[in-house]
Amino acid sequence: MKLIIAVIKPFKLEEVREALTTIGVQGLMVSEVKGYGRQAGHTEIYRGAEYVVNFVPKVKLEMVVDDAIVEKAVETLSTTAKTGKIGDGKIFVLDVEQAVRVRTGETGADAI
């Protein structure tokens, strides 16, 4: 099992969710986050005053998937979330040692 963490632009969330559902991802956690990468924020003009936005709003997706669909999930995430512009996001893949479904006590791949 792998934990996939993806940080994407907020307006891509629904499109990405639908694409992941079609390839068999059964569960997804979503958090609104703020951050910056190489772009280090940007400047905006609001009511005639220029100000610096240091942290850019993003959406963080977390999902645990079976090893069999990890590559497909990463490919789906990267193609669906891509706009071709700065700040499209990042994808991280980590090992998951154990998973337990609290309600039933199922473990491992059965728990996801």
Backbone φ and ψ of 54, nearest 5°? -80, -35
Give the chain's mean pLDDT: 91
pLDDT of residue 54: 77
Distance CA 98, CA 101 (A): 10
pLDDT in tens, 45-82: 777 777 777 788 899 999 999 999 999 999 999 999 99
pLDDT of residue 42: 65
2-111: CATH topology is Alpha-Beta Plaits (3.30.70)
12 three-state secondary structure: helix
Mean pLDDT over residues 17-30, rounded? Answer: 95
Quick check: 78 and 92 in contact, CB under 8 A? no
Instruction: State the virtual CA torsion across 11, 17, 20, 21 in degrees, nearest 10.
Output: -160
Quick check: 86 and 40 in contact, CB under 8 A? no
